[in-house]
């Protein structure tokens, strides 16, 4: 019986299993990947919810009225980014709920993974924007921009460059199977 991926009896061919190191059906792999994705989402969602909650409270603080027009604009952009981030990181749960029972788990995992990556990019932007606002209010000088730039660079390296580097090393045969899980 063909599973649509070149395998028989619901299993991918033996070469794929050897490369991946697992002997699982497409559905089993989707279940495992979904569980892993949920664990990642729990970490990201918690951080986003806390950050977004604090952002929503800022506008009700007495000092908010004293912010410059530029700082208020940064605040509005930050809140919008935070809202978009929350939507992207909560989206996979809704996606899964709406497609449950329709035998679309592999597709659900792919789309949920895309939404999660988009959410992480938006989270990066939200954190940079929030940090810019805080540093501008705290420092009142150009040092704020340099500090935010440095933190943005560090976050970018930790979140995107290191994983890309590990993937490139793996693809070159130095660190693993060369296949993305």
Point out which residues pair with 8 in neighbouring strands: 2, 11
Tell me the two tokens of residue 132. Answer: 């810019």
> Are 44 and 120 a contacting pair, CB within 8 Å?
yes
Q: What's the pLDDT at 174?
A: 54
What is the Cα–Cα distance from 157 to 170, expressed in whole angstroms? 18
**DSSP secondary structure code for residue 25 in this structure:** B
> Are 128 and 151 a contacting pair, CB within 8 Å?
yes
**Would you kindly state where each structural domain of the chain is located, as residue ranges?**
29-127
Q: pTM of the full predicted structure?
A: 0.77
> Are 181 and 25 a contacting pair, CB within 8 Å?
no
> Are 127 and 155 a contacting pair, CB within 8 Å?
yes
What is the Cα–Cα distance from 135 to 8, expressed in whole angstroms? 59
Q: Is the pLDDT of residue 181 over 70?
A: no
Of the ranges 74-88, 95-109, 154-168, which one carries the lowest mean pLDDT score? 95-109
> Are 153 and 141 a contacting pair, CB within 8 Å?
no
Greatest C-alpha distance within the chain: 70
Whole-Å CA distances, 1 to 16, 105, 123: 17, 20, 44
Name the 3-class secondary structure at 11. strand
- pLDDT tens-digit series, residues 22-75: 888 888 898 899 889 989 898 898 989 999 999 999 999 999 999 999 999 999
What is the Cα–Cα distance from 19 to 29, expressed in whole angstroms? 14
- pLDDT tens-digit series, residues 84-124: 999 999 999 888 888 878 888 888 899 999 999 999 999 99
Q: Is the pLDDT of residue 149 over 70?
A: yes
């Amino acid at each position: 019986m063909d599973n649509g991926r070149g395998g028989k009896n619901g299993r991918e061919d033996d070469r794929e299993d050897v490369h991946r190191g697992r002997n699982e059906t497409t559905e089993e792999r989707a279940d495992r990947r979904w569980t892993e994705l949920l664990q990642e989402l729990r970490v990201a969602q918690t951080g986003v919810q806390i950050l977004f909650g604090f952002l929503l409270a800022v506008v009700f603080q007495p000092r908010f009225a004293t912010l410059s027009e530029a700082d208020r604009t940064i605040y509005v952009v930050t809140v919008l980014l935070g809202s978009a981030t929350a939507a992207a990181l909560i989206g996979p749960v809704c996606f899964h709920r709406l497609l449950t029972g329709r035998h679309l788990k592999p597709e659900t995992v792919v789309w949920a993974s895309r939404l999660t990556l988009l959410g992480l990019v938006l989270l990066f932007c939200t954190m940079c924007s929030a940090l810019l606002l805080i540093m501008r209010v705290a420092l009142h000088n150009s040092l704020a921009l340099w500090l935010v730039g440095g933190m943005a660079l560090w976050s970018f390296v930790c979140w995107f460059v290191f994983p890309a580097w590990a993937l490139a090393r793996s693809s070159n045969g130095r660190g693993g199977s060369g296949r993305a899980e």
